[in-house]
Structure 1
Amino acid sequence: MIGIYAHHHGSGHLHRCREIQRELRAMGHDAEILSTADGDVPLPDDAGWPPRELRSARAMTAGGTLHYAPYGVPALQERFAAIAAWIAQHRPRAFYVDVSNEVAAFVRLMGIPVIVHAMPGYRGDAPHQLAYTQAEAIIAAWPDWVEVPQHLRAHADRLHAVGGISRLRPRAGVSRDPHHVVVMAGKGGSTWEPEDWAAVERALPEYRFTFLGGDNHVDDPTELLQSAGIAVTAGGQNSVADLAATDTPAIVLPQPRPFTEQKLGARALDGLATVRNTFPRIDEWRDLLQRRSTNWTRWQTDGAARRAAEVIARVADNPGQLATCVITLADANRADHLTHQVNLMPMGVDHVTVALDDADVLAKAVPKSHVVDGPRNLAAARNLGARTAIARGADVLIFLDADCLASDDLVPRYLAALKQRPDAVAAGPVTYMKQGELRVTDPDPHPARPNPAPGELVDADNYNLFWSLSFALTADTWARIEGDFGGFDPTFEGYGGEDTDFARELQRHRIPLVWVGGAHAYHQWHPVSSPPYEHAADIVVNANRFYDKWGEFPMEGWLDAFEGEGVVAKQSAPERYILRNHELHHPRGK
């Protein structure tokens, strides 16, 4: 069973849901429509409510988190009770909502995978973003060539533009009367008045006008649209889809709707229809009615309802996310930071800690993490972490430095990125926090690393910017890495160089590195020395090892600083760095 919710405003939502329901049933899925507007399962209508005294903005919108949740409306309570009872009885495998952010959130709270319908307009508000974020898939009834609206870009990995969904079935042998004009206002209402059209009719006596809307209603306007020389309509999604299905030349007059949906949606109609945002002047109408060229095939109505049904069916068949494991390296010195990482990790994510030392201390500090006793070598420890996570069933590996905290978006952004680019290594931005700070919001990423917009993926053109603080890849990609070059190179001992070497190996073996917008990690403060004099010996050894392998030195900023302080010296033949005094790690008292 699949549930479908159809909003009651206008008739377009129900018509669209009926088409999708028909396709779902043809695919072997049972589906029922719940609606206050003639659904299979009637829901209580709260028309006329709430009373004016209960219409305060905060009460109506639950402090801006919802669009419509007024106090004291019995029919609203009965409606959600009816939805809950239907879910409890039928245990649906998925639920398609067209449209209501409140219904989507309610159904999702009942543990049902939700698919939501995207509408045009400005919808960056909190309620819409909540619905889009929670949804397993988002269906847009416009063509796949339409630019993704700003408010949907962060959710583009789950957005499916299926084309315009129409219930009309064109008939053969219908010819067009060039002097017949069909005017469709739709049930949502219009700003034009009867006297406006009376003036147009007087000015153009050679045209015959048929008006649909209000009391003048036909169940099936297919023949009228096919026989008309041109149609004048509001800019609703279903009206536009009906024009495209019947290949009817059109003048579209977008009407005032919530979130300016019709006006913004009509921007995509350039070259398909004539669009006017205000009622044209009388002297404009003759020219407008003679504009008959169309290219409605671009609206992709053929098969659109089937494509929408297939999206819903895929969610019903497999709603779960890939098994994910966060991997970190730590010792007792990082136990406090590690507890913050583990306890702030989102639910449903496995966690593996590779203990560089003090495994028993860490096991007590983070009982929610699977602690394994590992080597001191950072490269070998990361390789062990990957093998351990995969052995525990992980499909996706997220490497996170022990000092780093995962934002709420880190895991879903990495999963979304790897869904689109399963062959890649994904890396997100890192924000460094000040002493005493502990947060996973308000990112201020390190300026030396890429920071794409949320949901945006950018292919790296400089692999040297790779950072082992935060990155993710699939278990399959890790298996390829192990087969190609063995993972992180354990011949890099101690501190520095092994992550830059890893990035070079990715590039040499043509494994894409992708910067992931919105996958924010937050680095907790700890004392540092810059350059890190305490690691000078390791850095010199690893820099020389890197040079032998790649023909150039890494960590050049640190090496130059060490050289300036007299800690190291650079030889020219063979080109090499040497440590001048093994005991001199903190010159001039540093």
Structure 2
Amino acid sequence: MSFTIAFYVHHHGSGHLMRTLQVARQLTAYKVILLGSQLQGLEEKNMENIQLIHLPADVPDTAMSDNTGTKAPDTFHYAPLNIEGIRDRMAIMAELFRKEYPLLLVVDVSVEVTLLARLCAVPTVVIRQHGLRDDLPHLMAYQSAEILLAPFSGDIYIGKKDWIYNKTVFTGGFSRFSRAAEKTPEIAKHVVILIGGGGTSINTSLIKNIAKACPEYIFHVVGVFKQDQSLPNLFWHGKVANPQSLLESCQFIIGNTGHNTVMEVATLNKRFIGIPEKRPFQEQKQKAESIQHRNGIKIIAVEDLTTQDWKAIFEQLSYQLPDWKGIIDNGALFRMAQAIIDTGNNFFKI
């Protein structure tokens, strides 16, 4: 008897989906189902063993009453009342658990979905992230899971070595990029500024001020912003499907310290100016703390962005070789996929 592997994909930012797709592509011998609210644009025809199930949004419908009840109980992070989308998405998932069983659910990430699966007698694998996650909802989710997977190295783990640590498999880091044998040559004084989709303090005003302060540097902005060229050393590329060659060609990368950005910069072994955004549970702040003492890396707090001598920062980093040792592991994706398979095999005998 084989089993299905389903992934719940959180919809904030693009990192959860990007990571899920990489892992799912390692599971070609299994039926894989992706559940999420931001799966539009994916082509199932390019993923032969992967099925998509689109979930309705879990935010209030303006056509209904905006009364979402009292504050969520301490057992949940997000559990408002009177929202049709939540009822519908939970019903879809519960029906999937019944119809597709035997099924293993990988949750990246949601306390509420983890607990729903447990109540439906479905075993779960929970993806861990950096951050202060010792609150009651996280503890309940971690207790409910069969295994915890951290998509990074134990070298950058921050926290207690307690039962949560002992339940965690640290797979090592990976990204969508790979180090090519013939990589694009690096060009001195070229800088990429990465703008993610999860909200950022790296706005157009800041970018223009940095470019004006460093006229001898060339800046390439990659991400959600797309503007006309207003400065001779500032280029707006908008969203780029595969920015690897552009990133490889630059001497420096500026970006937020979200998980995928850090792993991509580490894969390409680039000098990095990291800006930790305010996120729930201080996720980006803790990720920044885990790498800030390495050569070739400069962490700048959001509140300090407007007071920096950017030219001095670039000059200082240019004399340092970037140190990303131990961050990326070529066997990480295989290790994560195998841990998922092994967990399923513990329940469902082939």
The answer to whether the 8 A contact 1:12-1:237 is kept is yes
CA distance 1:245–1:57, change in 2 (3 Å): farther
| Structure 1 Cα separation of the partners of residues 347 and 168 of structure 2 | 15
- How many Å apart are 1:315 and its aligned residue? 0.6
2:18 to 15, 35, 42: 15
SS in 2 for 1:175: coil
| Structure 2 Cα separation of the partners of residues 299 and 131 of structure 1 | 27
Task: State the AA in 2 paired with 1:106.
Answer: L
| Structure 2 Cα separation of the partners of residues 94 and 229 of structure 1 | 43
Task: State the AA in 1 paired with 2:172.
Answer: G
What does residue 524 of structure 1 align with? none
- How many Å apart are 1:164 and its aligned residue? 2.1
Superposed CA offset, 1:460-505 (max 9, x none): xxxxxxxxxxxxxxxxxxxxxxxxxxxxxxxxxxxxxxxxxxxxxx
Deviates more, 1:80-89 or 1:238-247: 80-89
- How many Å apart are 1:224 and its aligned residue? 1.6
What does residue 159 of structure 1 align with? 168
Superposed CA offset, 1:275-327 (max 9, x none): 1123445652112223142122420242222211111111101149xxxxxxx
What does residue 36 of structure 1 align with? 37
CA distance 1:191–1:82, change in 2 (3 Å): same
2:90 is aligned with 1:90? no
Matches within 5 A, 1:534-573: none
- How many Å apart are 1:49 and its aligned residue? 4.7
| Structure 1 Cα separation of the partners of residues 65 and 313 of structure 2 | 44
What does residue 168 of structure 1 align with? 177
The answer to whether the 8 A contact 1:119-1:140 is kept is yes
SS in 2 for 1:4: strand
Gaps spanning 5+ residues in structure 2: where?
A: 43-51, 226-237
- How many Å apart are 1:183 and its aligned residue? 0.6
What does residue 284 of structure 2 align with? 262
- How many Å apart are 1:254 and its aligned residue? 0.5
| Structure 2 Cα separation of the partners of residues 93 and 125 of structure 1 | 28
Superposed CA offset, 1:317-343 (max 9, x none): 1149xxxxxxxxxxxxxxxxxxxxxxx
Superposed CA offset, 1:255-287 (max 9, x none): 111111100121111205221123445652112
SS in 1 for 2:105: strand
| Structure 2 Cα separation of the partners of residues 54 and 264 of structure 1 | 35
Task: State the AA in 1 paired with 2:75.
Answer: T
Task: State the AA in 1 paired with 2:312.
Answer: D
TM-score normalised to structure 1 length:
0.51
CA distance 1:266–1:5, change in 2 (3 Å): same
| Structure 2 Cα separation of the partners of residues 220 and 149 of structure 1 | 34
| Structure 2 Cα separation of the partners of residues 31 and 6 of structure 1 | 13
What does residue 343 of structure 2 align with? 315
What does residue 230 of structure 2 align with? none
- How many Å apart are 1:5 and its aligned residue? 0.7
SS in 2 for 1:317: helix
The answer to whether the 8 A contact 2:186-2:248 is kept is yes
| Structure 2 Cα separation of the partners of residues 102 and 154 of structure 1 | 21
The answer to whether the 8 A contact 2:36-2:55 is kept is yes
What does residue 147 of structure 2 align with? 137
| Structure 1 Cα separation of the partners of residues 263 and 68 of structure 2 | 36
The answer to whether the 8 A contact 2:185-2:249 is kept is yes
2:7 is aligned with 1:4? yes
1:54 to 56, 60, 67: 67
What does residue 324 of structure 1 align with? none
- How many Å apart are 1:214 and its aligned residue? 1.9
SS in 2 for 1:81: helix
The answer to whether the 8 A contact 1:136-1:319 is kept is no
Superposed CA offset, 1:99-121 (max 9, x none): 00001111111111101011111
| Structure 2 Cα separation of the partners of residues 213 and 56 of structure 1 | 37
- How many Å apart are 1:14 and its aligned residue? 0.2
| Structure 1 Cα separation of the partners of residues 325 and 111 of structure 2 | 32
TM-score normalised to structure 2 length:
0.84
- How many Å apart are 1:57 and its aligned residue? 4.9
Deviates more, 1:35-44 or 1:5-14: 35-44
| Structure 1 Cα separation of the partners of residues 215 and 65 of structure 2 | 48
What does residue 438 of structure 1 align with? none
The answer to whether the 8 A contact 2:97-2:103 is kept is no
- How many Å apart are 1:148 and its aligned residue? 4.8
CA distance 1:184–1:313, change in 2 (3 Å): same
CA distance 1:7–1:92, change in 2 (3 Å): farther
2:269 is aligned with 1:247? yes
| Structure 1 Cα separation of the partners of residues 102 and 21 of structure 2 | 18
2:294 to 271, 277, 282: 271
CA distance 1:212–1:88, change in 2 (3 Å): same
1:208 to 210, 214, 218: 218
| Structure 2 Cα separation of the partners of residues 157 and 211 of structure 1 | 41
| Structure 2 Cα separation of the partners of residues 97 and 49 of structure 1 | 25
What does residue 76 of structure 1 align with? 86
The answer to whether the 8 A contact 1:4-1:32 is kept is yes
| Structure 1 Cα separation of the partners of residues 117 and 192 of structure 2 | 40
Task: State the AA in 2 paired with 1:17.
Answer: T
What does residue 57 of structure 2 align with? 45
Aligned length: 314
The answer to whether the 8 A contact 1:164-1:238 is kept is no
Percent of paired sites with the same residue:
28
CA distance 1:157–1:176, change in 2 (3 Å): same
What does residue 309 of structure 2 align with? 284
CA distance 1:282–1:147, change in 2 (3 Å): closer
The answer to whether the 8 A contact 1:65-1:127 is kept is yes
- How many Å apart are 1:240 and its aligned residue? 0.5
| Structure 2 Cα separation of the partners of residues 88 and 6 of structure 1 | 19
Q: RCO greater where, 1 or 2, for CA within 8 Å and sep 6 or more?
A: 2
What does residue 256 of structure 2 align with? 234
| Structure 2 Cα separation of the partners of residues 247 and 48 of structure 1 | 43
